[in-house]
Amino acid sequence: MPHEVVFLSDHDVSDMVTMADAMTAVEEDFNRQAVPGSMIYGVPLAYSTDDRKLGYRSRLKSAIIRDLPVAGVRVAGFKIDQNGVGTGGGREATRYIILSDPETSSPLAIIDEHSIFPKRTSAAVCVAAKYLARPESAAVGIVGVGNIGRTALLGLQAIFTIREVKATSLRPPSRQKFAQDMSARLGLSVRAVDSYEEACRGADIIVVGTSSQRPFLRHDWLGEGVFLALVGEHEAMDDVYAKCDRFFVDYDPATEKHPAHIQHVVEAGAIGPSSIAGQIWEVVAGRKPGRQNPQEKILVATVGLTTQDISIAYRVYLRAKAEGRGLRLPF
């Protein structure tokens, strides 16, 4: 039988990955990081090409997961302004994962990742919260009510007994619609509030996922024992990084450059080399302790791991093959 490549559109993929699927894949990936040589990352982690005249950026990330085995390249293309600022989450943006068999080098699949991306991003936050938030956490603050806010709330509800949610965004109509939709979907009280501060105060878990280019979140909004997850870039003031009790990331600071927003905090002197308590995988795999007391404020910042995108995409590919989904391309 001739080799075929599976093409999966967003329509194909949208119902093939639940938040439970994504969280399982991400937790497995964090545990996989504890095994030396189990994964190989591209160097550099991301390769970008900008054309600020046309307003376009392409971005490539690659990795190999040996124990599956699968190799993958994540391809993204999106609009930027003349300052290089932009986001790639819109439906019009290019987002594909190309999977290959690393033992034969043959392509396996081309998968639209618009539906995968927010679930993977939120899954990393939810898995981190599972190990680092207080188990009795019941109040959630959501800052940014796009796909990340929605999927994060779905994932958190699967882990914690949530009784109250406060959500905010720049535009009143968007936060009000989020509150209405998620209240009905989750069967609990989701309340739209008018300020970032109001969404944060009193929350046990805070998820911030915005496109902000100016820090806005302040340490004095954070209560004792809070778990704070930063998914975007320039979201938190320097004092948040400086004063939270422990700070975890998903990348390896020993081998990878800090993302620009964290490098800015380093250069400002808010944090030093010892300020990062560790990587999320170290807690998940039991190499470092999780929450140590109910009072500590724990900060997590994620940049997203390509291996997590690829492992979720590989699950989708296997399911599509088993169920006959997608378009078969001759090879």
**Tokens at 93, concatenated:** 């943006």
What is the predicted pLDDT for the residue at 89?
Answer: 63
Beta bridge partners of 111: 8, 97
Contact call for residues 87 and 232 (beta carbons, < 8 A): no
What is the predicted pLDDT for the residue at 88?
Answer: 60
Contact call for residues 84 and 50 (beta carbons, < 8 A): yes
CB neighbour list of residue 327: distance below 8 Å, 6 or more residues apart: 6, 7, 8, 9
CA distance 100 to 119: 22
What is the predicted pLDDT for the residue at 317?
Answer: 97
**Which string of b and e fits 107-133 if b means at least 16 CB within 10 Å?**
bbbbbbbbbbbbbbbbbbbbbbbbbbb
Domains, the chain, in order of start with CATH, read 4-116+306-330 (3.30.1780.10), 122-301 (3.40.50.720)
CA distance 118 to 121: 5
Contact call for residues 57 and 80 (beta carbons, < 8 A): yes
Q: What is the model's pTM? A: 0.94
Query: What are the phi and psi torsion angles at 208 (to 5°)?
Result: -115, 115
SS3 266: helix
CA distance 293 to 285: 19
Strands 47-51 and 4-8: unpaired
DSSP secondary structure code for residue 220 in this structure: G
What is the predicted pLDDT for the residue at 87?
Answer: 67
Digits of tens for pLDDT over the chain (331 positions)? 578 999 999 999 999 999 999 999 999 999 999 999 999 988 777 889 999 999 999 999 999 999 999 999 999 999 998 888 876 667 889 999 999 999 999 999 999 999 999 999 999 999 999 999 999 999 999 999 999 999 999 999 999 999 999 999 999 999 999 999 999 999 999 999 999 999 999 999 999 999 888 999 999 999 999 999 999 988 999 999 999 999 999 999 988 889 888 999 999 999 987 899 999 999 999 999 999 999 999 999 999 999 999 999 999 999 999 999 999 999 8
CA distance 160 to 311: 25
Q: What is the largest CA-CA distance in the chain?
A: 64
What is the predicted pLDDT for the residue at 52?
Answer: 94
